[in-house]
Amino acid sequence: MKRIYFDHAATTPVDKKVMKAMKPYFCDVFGNPSSLHSFGQEAMKAVDEARDKVAKFLNCEREEVIFTSGATEANNLAIRGVASKYQGGGKFHVITTAFEHPAVLETVKDLEKSGVIETTYVNPGVDGIIRVEDIEKEIRDNTILVSVMYVNNEIGTIQPIKEISDAVRKMNDGRPNKILFHTDAVQAGLYCNMKVGELGVDLLSMSGHKIYGPKGIGVLYVKKAVKLKPIQTGGHHEFGLRAGTLNTPLIVGMGKAVELIRKRKIKKIEELRDNLWTALQRNISGIKLNGDMVKRVPNNLNVSVVGVEGEALLLGLDMEGIAISTGSACSSGSLEPSHVLMSIGLSHEEAHGSLRITLGEDNDESECEELVKKLTPLVERFRAMAPKASE
């Protein structure tokens, strides 16, 4: 049985060119990049080249690129690194959104619980878009950080990052303590403008395994004027912001993955996604799109199917060799309805009936047709099994 993968928002396969670039740095070029001898300097040369590639992609200076173990660490470094600077100086205020990834939400909630910060959680509209004015009206005299994700990891909606940064910059005029702006851009890397100067962000997180690179590597862009307090000690690596021996193979993989982004088949993915949505609507009654269809990355379909549990459909499709998701992979162990879908006003039933279908460049029309072919009878079967209201 052929297996079909429609869960690229959870992780992408490693591009063969990325794997080829990484391979020598596991066994042949194995030196510690911090060592001064030729073995170490050979490895450091590869790290420097990867850093330059990421800096070129983000259109920033190389010293502003900090390699991390992934976007979760990058988000933690950004948020905790800012908050730690203000510890002991009174309680400060952070603004984020109600539908952030847990790497942001759980971090601010932990700081809140510890008494370090106060937090405001801004809700998106029913279309899955954050309104700039909703951010503006929550800014206080003691606000130190705004953190808004670039693309939502479940529903794929694109947030107005530049407009928010413009608003924050205006509010900063005359303020003694400037508000910093961070964006979790993990889901945006393949599809959106990532030039940090044009976006106007101070901090930006991204991850290797969402862009056809390896797992276990990420990047935090830190604007040169921004001073963070490191969240781990044990060395002065990464310009003093991230202690620990540099992971040369994965850093090389991150650099190569970023370099290949401009060659990705984005238009093909968007056409497949649009055709798939048309076919799903034609074949399955009571199917509803979650989030705006236009302000959305081109590979994402998040839908609710009335009268059916999304998890049952996921498991049924998996038995047919087709992989999809019911939400973010980081929340898949939870029995609670998606906090993202609840934040845009869905009922518990609608949220529990959600499916996230995310395409990649290796998917084709026949695989989309197979998904519709297998999903349609599954929906009918589970609806027929559901207890009637009178029962």
| 290 & 246 share domain | no
Residues spanned by the domain of 299 = 4-12+265-385
Same domain, 177 and 285: no
- Judge whether 390 lies within some domain: no
Domain final residue, candidates 261, 296, 330: 261
Statement to judge: residues 237 and 320 lie in one domain: no
What is the residue whose two structure tokens read 């962000």? 201
For residues 241 and 280, state if they share a domain: no
What pLDDT was estimated at residue 295? Answer: 97
27, 60, 192, 330: the active-site residue: 330
Alpha carbon of 386 to those of 75, 305, 308, 373, 379: distances in Å?
42, 13, 8, 21, 11
Asked if pLDDT for residue 332 goes beyond 80, the answer is: no
Note the maximum CA span of the chain: 78
Alpha carbon separation from 227 to 43, 78, 138, 195 (Å, rounded): 28, 10, 24, 20
**CATH no. for residue 270?**
3.90.1150.10
Residue type, 232: Q
Q: Which of 122, 118, 151, 147 is closest to 344 using CA atoms?
A: 122
Instruction: Clarify whether residues 61 and 160 are in a common domain.
Output: yes
Note whether 234 and 315 are same-domain residues. Answer: no
Percent of the chain scored above 90 by pLDDT? 82
Instruction: Count structural domains, the chain.
Output: 2
* Band of pLDDT at residue 328, cut at 50, 70 and 90: very low
Query: Quick one: pLDDT at residue 251?
Result: 98
285 part of a folded domain:
yes
Position 297 in a domain: yes
Q: For strands 180-184 and 143-147, give the pairing.
A: parallel
330: annotated active-site residue: yes
Query: Which residue in 313, 316, 296 sits closest to 359, CA to CA?
Result: 296
> Which pTM was predicted?
0.94
User: How many CB atoms are closer than 10 A to CB 175?
Assistant: 11
Residues 56, 204: one domain? yes
Say if 330 falls within a structural domain.
Answer: yes
Whether the pLDDT of residue 74 is over 90: the answer is yes
Helices in the chain by DSSP H: which ranges?
16-22, 24-27, 38-58, 71-85, 102-113, 132-136, 161-172, 196-199, 237-240, 248-260, 266-283, 310-319, 339-343, 348-352, 365-385
Pair (256, 319) in one structural domain: no
Pairing of strands 354-358, 322-323: unpaired
168 and 122 assigned to the same domain: yes
Give ∠ CA 278-283-289 in degrees, rounded to 5.
50
Output DSSP code: residue 69. S
Domain edge (last residue) among 261, 281, 298: 261
φ/ψ (deg, to 5) at 58? -85, -10
What's the pLDDT at 388?
Answer: 63
Which residue, among 19, 1, 2, 4, has the nearest Cα to 209 in the 3D structure? 19
Distance of CA 329 to the CA centre of its chain: 11
Last residue of a domain, one of 232, 261, 290: 261
Share of the chain above pLDDT 70, in %: 96
- pLDDT higher than threshold 80 for residue 365: yes
Q: In angstroms, rounded to a whole number, what is the distance separating the alpha carbons of residues 181 and 106? A: 18
Is 84 a member of any domain?
yes
What does the pLDDT look like over 78-117, one tens digit per residue?
999 999 887 666 689 999 999 999 999 999 999 999 888 9
Tell me: do 174 and 274 sit in the same domain: no
Summarize the chain as % helix, strand, coil (round to 5). Answer: 45, 15, 40
Q: What pLDDT score does 391 carry?
A: 46
Asked whether residue 391 is domain-assigned, the answer is no
* Residues 67, 95 within the same domain: yes
Phi-psi category of residue 307: left, alpha or beta, with phi > 0 → left and psi -120 to 50 → alpha:
left
CB 210 within 8 A of CB 190: yes
Q: Do 110 and 189 sit in the same domain of this protein? A: yes
CATH number at residue 46: 3.40.640.10
Q: Which amino acid is at 115?
A: G
Residue 209 domain-assigned?
yes
How does pLDDT run across 30-68, given as a tens digit for each residue? 999 988 899 999 999 999 999 999 999 999 999 999 999
Any domain includes 178: yes
- In 96-247, which ranges are continuous DSSP H helix? 102-113, 132-136, 161-172, 196-199, 237-240
